[in-house]
Structure 1
């Protein structure tokens, strides 16, 4: 299992519901194409799961 996840915003949050917008921002993503490295834990995986249609995830 990897220590970190590389999360990239690939789709706009314009049409997303407010809760999903807040989740994307809480992950540290603001613009399309922005990538952040986050710890691979249950909290982060749960957040990513809720916005899985907006982001791309890689284990590093």
Structure 2
């Protein structure tokens, strides 16, 4: 019983973490991104969208 209609969002880390706030670094880590240009495909949820909005200047979103 695979749920095929689950929306996903692809996130790429495009900005470096040096000089950023520690909370923002933790948000990037919570998204599963660790190195520059790393990509994760995540389930689209309000929690994930909130993390993306917090670090929008560091990530690129591909729907």
Query: TM bucket by the smaller chain?
Result: over 0.9
Displacement of 1:35? 0.1
1:31 aligns to 2:29 (yes or no): no
TM-score scaled by structure 1?
A: 0.93
Flag as ranges the 4+ runs of structure 1 deviating above 4 A: none
Partner of 2:51: 47
Indicate the structure (1 or 2) with the bigger Cα radius of gyration: 2
**RMSD of the TM alignment (CA)?**
1.0
How many residues were matched structurally?
A: 58
Q: Which runs of 5+ in 1 are unaligned?
A: none
Q: Which runs of 5+ in 2 are unaligned?
A: 1-5
